[in-house]
Amino acid sequence: MKPLTPRFDSEAIEPPIDPYLPQNGNRGFKVSRYELELEYRVSANRLAGKATVSAVTVSPLQKFSLDFGPALSASKVTVNGSRASKYTHRDGKLTISLSKPLATGAPFVVVVAYNGNPQPIRGLWGQVGWEELTEGSLVASQPNGAASWFPCDDHPSSKASYRISITTDSPYFAVANGTLVRKQTKSSRTTWVYDQPEPMASYLATIQIGPYEKHTIQSETVPISAVLPSRLLPSYAHDFGRQAEMMDVFVRLYGPYPFADYTVVVTDDELEIPIEAQGISTFGANHCDGTRRYERLVAHELAHQWFGNSLTLGRWRDIWLHEGFACYSEWIWSENSGGPSAHSRATRAHALQAALPMDIVLADPGPESMFDDRVYKRGALAVHALRRKVGDEKFFALIQEWTDKFRYSTVVTADFTDLASRYGTTAAFWDPWLNGTRLPKMP
């Protein structure tokens, strides 16, 4: 069937903010802060919450939406202290109407009381967001799962500070982004309050609940904590034993660690892949087996704190800026820890990639392919080609300027290539790596 020609007249629907997630993101305002007060019953998977969303209008506003998953129900909505004149919740959107419009530049506060049994958001990439464990729960929201547990502007270009309070059954340990500022136990329930002052994309917000203990790891540069079941501690000591050294290497090469501390959570369940959140990485029990065979993933997730969490893509087509640098960091760690050099790793990866189908464009892989392993590996190869092109001195100076200049910002590919042009690259260098389907030769 021939596709319809899109209309952009007064009756047409506005084009999506991001074609990769056309249902996500919202217009008319910019969120500055989320304050979440949550109560969770582990055995019943029952969540009750109050989300206070502080924002500023960017255009006159009388009707607006927040992303909000279908498994939860709003029971009360207020705007600036007054009940919303009308709100609806359908198709993953909580749409709120005001009795009087807000002018451009007006600050406003939305408070949403809600409850339900949180479920992951289903999409092209499986199920993402709030997920039950055998004992407890985890949140892994990349790319669009934040709406599974709170109403939000669920697009990475929308970054805000957070305060997350989670009350749950006292035997369980609860982790969220930021610094623990208060912990209080009453009867059989414990409240944990975390504050995340640095701007954070909604998909990087997380809560981890389980039968865990917390242990502090020594590092010369950044406080590191491990939160895990006690039975896994001996294996953790070996599998993650070089993590402090890893942190020191990345700080030396990439620039200062962008957050106050770093926490690794290991669940009592097995997970298919580890996942990063801001200031936190989550691994499954299967990644902590005493063999150290997953150490490259430890490096990968740590590197995301710079590439993905501090510097966050402004559109999903540019995911190579996250995954290419995180994958390359596996090779950086290898050559700085007595393993094969980054060039040796790149040479092997290049040979493997050359044998795979060449039908993917690194800087625009399409939503179905944005988590394809070829994006990760070809992204890392593009980074290594850059290093070979400009030399180590310029390469690491560029990376440190990149992480400093765009700290806590959203970025697109052109931001990086424009900066790299000051270090000796041209469009002729970047075009085949980023915009062609064929794998270029290594410089």
Residues 261 and 341 reside in one and the same domain: no
Token output for 123: 């999409």
The verdict on 37 and 182 lying in the same domain is yes
Indicate which residue of 162, 301, 328, 330 is catalytic.
301
pLDDT at 430 (0 to 100): 98
pLDDT confidence of residue 10: 34
Alpha-carbon distance 41 to 44, whole Å? 6
CATH classification at residue 154: 2.60.40.1730
pLDDT of the chain, 443 residues: tens digit per residue? 333 333 333 334 689 999 999 999 999 999 999 999 999 999 999 999 999 999 999 999 999 999 999 999 999 999 999 999 899 999 999 999 999 999 999 999 999 999 999 999 999 999 999 999 999 999 999 999 999 999 999 999 999 999 999 999 999 999 999 999 999 999 899 999 999 999 999 999 999 999 999 999 877 889 999 999 999 999 999 999 999 999 999 999 999 999 999 999 999 999 999 999 999 999 999 999 999 999 999 999 999 999 999 999 999 999 999 999 999 999 999 999 999 999 999 999 999 999 999 999 999 999 999 999 999 999 999 999 999 999 999 999 999 999 999 999 999 999 999 999 999 999 999 999 999 999 999 88
Q: Which of 280, 303, 326 is the last residue of a domain?
A: 303
Active site annotation includes 135? no
| Alpha carbons 254 and 305: distance in angstroms, whole number | 11
Annotated binding site: 300, 304, 323
* 101 & 175 share domain: yes
**Quick check: is 376 catalytic?**
yes
Residue 317: CATH number of its domain: 1.10.390.10
54 and 201 co-located in one domain: yes
Assess whether 98 and 153 both reside in one domain.
Answer: yes
Residue 220: what pLDDT? 80
400 and 319 in a common domain: yes
Question: Which tens digit of pLDDT belongs to each residue from 413-428?
Answer: 999 999 999 999 999 9
- Domain boundary among the residues 269, 303, 337 is at 303
pLDDT at residue 4 in the model:
39
Residues 317, 299: one domain? no
Residue 386 lies inside a defined structural domain of this protein: yes
* 6 is a domain residue: no
Here the tokens at position 258 are 């962008």
Query: Domain check: are 91 and 168 in the same one?
Result: yes
How many other CB atoms sit within 10 Å of the CB of residue 178?
23
Does one domain contain both 151 and 202? yes
Q: What per-residue confidence (pLDDT) applies to 5?
A: 37
User: How big is the chain, counted in residues?
Assistant: 443
Q: Are both 327 and 411 inside the same structural domain? A: yes
Domain count, the chain: 3
- Residues annotated within a binding site for Zn(2+): 300, 304, 323
Q: Based on the domain organization, do 170 and 60 belong to the same domain?
A: yes
| Residue 339 CB coordination number (10 Å) | 15
Residue 103 lies in a domain: yes
CA distance 208 to 175: 5
Q: Which two tokens stand for residue 318?
A: 């540019």
User: Is 429 within a domain?
Assistant: yes
Q: Do residues 343 and 282 share a domain?
A: no
Bridge-partner residues for 138, per DSSP? 131, 208
- Residue range of the domain that includes 336: 312-435
Query: Measured between alpha carbons, how far is residue 412 from residues 157, 277, 303, 321, 419 in Å?
Result: 10, 20, 18, 8, 11
Angle between helices 413-421 and 320-335 (to 10 degrees): 50
Given the residues 87, 212, 328, 376, select the one marked as catalytic.
376
Q: Which of 261, 282, 303 is the last residue of a domain?
A: 303
Q: Is residue 374 part of a domain?
A: yes
